[in-house]
Amino acid sequence: MTETPDGPQEAGPRFEGYGTAVVPPAERPAERRATGAHRATRREAERSGRYTDEIDNMLVVLADPSIARGAAGDTRRRFGLFDGVAPDVERGGRLATWYVPEAAAAWLAGRVVVAAALGLVHFLTGSVADDGGRLDHTGLLGWDAGWYESIAAHGYGGAGEESRRFFPLLPMVVRGLCALPGLAGREGAVLLVIVNALAFALTVLLARLARAEGFADAAIRRVIWLSALAPPAFVLAMGYAEAPAMVCAVCAFLAARSGRFGLAALAGLLSGLCRPLGLLMVAPMLIEAVRGPRSTAPRWWLPRLAAVVAPVAGAGAYVAWSAATYHDGLAPLTMQRDAARHGATGNPLTVLWDAAQGTLHGNVGTGLHVPWLLLSLVALVLMARLLPASYSVWCALVLLTVLTGSNLDSSERYLFGAFPFVLVAALALGRRTVWPFALAASATVMTVYATLAFTLAYVP
């Protein structure tokens, strides 16, 4: 056991990178002495107040010239992160006992924040009405959630032509469950139950993935709470497809990183059926498929090939259905290019500049996207140093997709769906003096964003 500012915890896993021979501890006296020296240095630093967490704060480490000049692998090891996958996760071991209660507390806190935002909207609506005015507002089934509910209730034909831009996985699951006795006509309630249950599962799965990458317990706790209280996380309580899409993505990464490419293929297939951005899962699955020793045996390359093509197969199935039914197979993708949605493809620098200038002309909502996008660029650089390449490549593609659209609405939600940004944030906020304030600020901003979304002032 080691003592950290967050309390006692077991030491993080120590495992070797791929292709590295394991040397018995008895044969590594120099390494032991170096480790002892490092611990002595750490104790002295802690007494002086320089370090306050089990893992050095990310900004302190990257500001160290000796670390900044080192290889990415050296930086990861400084954080306790290694090049392989934690052995207990790779073997399919059980979840740590504290993951579920911690995830339940974070999940509940997220729902309390959303309920507070809804209560505030109700109060504001009543106050405006008392003054003879009217405040337009919506709820958990507003915005895109209303489309998913309508598709589940009436199908694509009954929901209207525009409904085809919403991929079928979530509404079809809701539609299938509503065929059960007693659930007919309750599509909205079933939709909310499904997405909120999946949001809880997402929190647990993210903790499992963080463990697989070698995160210490304190960092895993931060991952859990950020996944529930990040500013865009209020959409996980609404009838949006974020929860199922993120669950599929986390499962795909977790399975591929631990060598279970059959499960990764299934998760990738569902990702392609869930959201258009699911197509981008091809890139990280390809990186993971070619990682490590290779073989020509079918049992080696067939599951890997399936994991790579599965996202395309999922999206392709929906496109093929659209072509057969409406004779316009690409409509689910091309509809997103409308100026009122993602917009036409543009230069990322021009898009950012136009958004920043919009603030000066009264378009505050558009300008609010810019700080988050700039933070995402910084986080992407840090991610490339701290996490395997598959994470940073996938997030770079998501960020590029956001930045090349002339309309930045919902960009925070899209970036939140690229969950490795949450992992990086959990590492960056490791100092004991920073984390409580960061979490409180995140929950506060989440309340503000939810309130703006429910009053139709912000597009989630």
What are the pLDDT digits (tens) for 122-137? 999 999 998 888 999 9
What's the mean per-residue pLDDT of the chain? 83
Q: What is the pLDDT of residues 15-64, one digit of tens each?
A: 333 333 434 444 434 433 434 444 444 444 444 343 334 444 455 445 55
pLDDT, position 240:
97
Q: How many whole angstroms separate alpha carbon 21 and alpha carbon 27?
A: 13
Q: Within this chain, do residues 86 and 103 fall inside the same structural domain, yes or no?
A: no
Do 379 and 234 fall within a single domain? yes
Q: Is residue 254 one of the residues assigned to a domain? A: yes
Looking at the whole model, is its pTM more than 0.85?
A: no
Instruction: Work out the pLDDT band at 296, boundaries 50, 70, 90.
Output: confident
* Domain around 62: 2-90
Same-domain status, 123 and 69: no
Give the domain-ending residue among 35, 58, 90.
90
| Domain identity same for 73 and 200 | no
pLDDT digits 0-9 by tens, 418-431: 999 999 999 999 88
> How far is it, in rounded angstroms, from Cα 85 to Cα 208?
11
Assess whether 191 and 152 both reside in one domain: yes
> Which is nearest to 250 in space by CA: 376, 84, 417?
417
Q: How many domains does the chain have?
A: 2
User: 33 and 112 share a domain?
Assistant: no
- Same-domain check for residues 152 and 19: no
pLDDT reported for residue 340: 59
Last residue of a domain, one of 90, 125, 142: 90
Q: Are residues 291 and 210 in the same domain?
A: yes
- Give Cβ neighbours of residue 332 (< 8 Å, ≥ 6 apart): 164, 165, 167, 276, 318, 319, 322
Average pLDDT over residues 287-296: 89
pLDDT at 332: 86
DSSP string, 385-404: HHS-HHHHHHHHHHHHHHHT
Average pLDDT for 261-290:
97
Confidence band of 14 (pLDDT split at 50, 70, 90): very low
Residues 106 and 62 both lie in one domain: no
- DSSP letter for 372, please: H
Domain-terminating residue out of 50, 66, 90: 90
What is the average pLDDT across 156-179?
94
Pick from 449, 455, 457, 397: which is nearest to 114 by CA? 449
Query: What does the pLDDT read at residue 36?
Result: 46
Instruction: Decide if 459 is inside a domain.
Output: no
pLDDT at 345 over 80: no
